[in-house]
């Protein structure tokens, strides 16, 4: 099931869109301001964003710019009452994929959602991790043999991505620290081991090797 995150401070309109998309088979979460949107995005991976521009705390334009800067390439649609070319140009420069002017026709929105998801899916780079697991490099998710998202934590997915990018090579502890934690974040040797052990449980035995005093190596 595709997951969609909607940023919209008009709760009645947001609820209408949520009900419509849920009936169409999507899983939908609603954020009423930019900060709540970031919190939801940290907790869950989404397949598509639908953002209003004029929302409290962090507007949609600034929020999408932050997400794109962090490496998040999730496709996005802006729903906006803005009509001036400068705002629309800024939206696309910040990484917007499409937009609809309010009041939006829900059937047209659905067509655009499906078109973006279909277009994006063609770019997926699927990597086989084991006999039962695959890693989608674009959406950065792990799926089982039934194509079910395992909903792993962001740091676990970041670590899997690091191993995939360096498969067959040694991944040092310094590389892991740089990948998983910002420069101002605290970490510990124990936390590294916790994430490594969690990932080891997903793979076949001896897939991840401990290179004593150096780091780890994945072979699949």
Among candidate residues 124, 198, 212, the one with its CA nearest the CA of residue 163 = 198
Domains, in order of start, for the chain: 3-121 (3.40.50.2300), 126-218 (1.10.10.10)
| Beta-bridge mates of residue 51 | 7, 78
Q: How far is residue 53's CA from residue 64's CA, in Å, rounded to a whole number?
A: 10
CA 191 to chain centre: 23
CA dihedral 67, 178, 197, 166 (to 10 degrees): 90
> What tens digit of pLDDT does each residue of 90-123 get?
778 878 888 888 888 899 999 889 888 877 654 4
> What tens digit of pLDDT does each residue of 168-177 get?
788 999 999 9
Threshold 0.75, pTM exceeds: no
> What tens digit of pLDDT does each residue of 28-50 get?
999 999 999 999 988 888 889 99
Question: 52-67 burial string, b = 16+ CB within 10 Å, else e?
Answer: bbebeebbbbebbbeb
């Amino acid at each position: 099931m595709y997951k969609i995150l909607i940023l919209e401070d008009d709760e009645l309109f947001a609820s209408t869109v949520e009900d419509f998309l849920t009936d169409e088979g999507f899983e939908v979460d609603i954020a009423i301001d930019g900060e709540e949107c970031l919190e939801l995005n940290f907790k869950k991976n989404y397949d598509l964003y639908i953002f209003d521009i004029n929302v409290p705390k962090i507007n949609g334009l600034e929020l999408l710019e932050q997400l794109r800067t962090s490496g998040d390439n999730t496709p996005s649609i802006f729903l906006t009452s803005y009509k001036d070319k400068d705002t629309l140009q800024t939206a696309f420069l910040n990484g917007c994929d499409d937009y609809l002017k309010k009041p939006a026709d829900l059937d047209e929105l659905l067509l655009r959602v499906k078109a973006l998801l279909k277009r994006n899916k063609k770019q997926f780079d699927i990597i086989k991790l084991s006999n039962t697991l695959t890693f989608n490099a674009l959406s950065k998710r792990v799926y089982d043999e039934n194509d079910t998202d395992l909903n792993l934590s962001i740091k676990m997915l970041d670590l899997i991505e690091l191993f995939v990018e360096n498969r067959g090579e040694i991944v040092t502890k310094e590389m892991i620290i740089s990948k998983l934690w910002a420069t101002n974040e605290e970490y510990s040797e124990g936390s590294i081991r916790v994430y490594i052990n969690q990932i080891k449980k997903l793979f076949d035995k001896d897939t991840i090797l401990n290179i004593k005093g150096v780091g780890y190596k994945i072979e699949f």
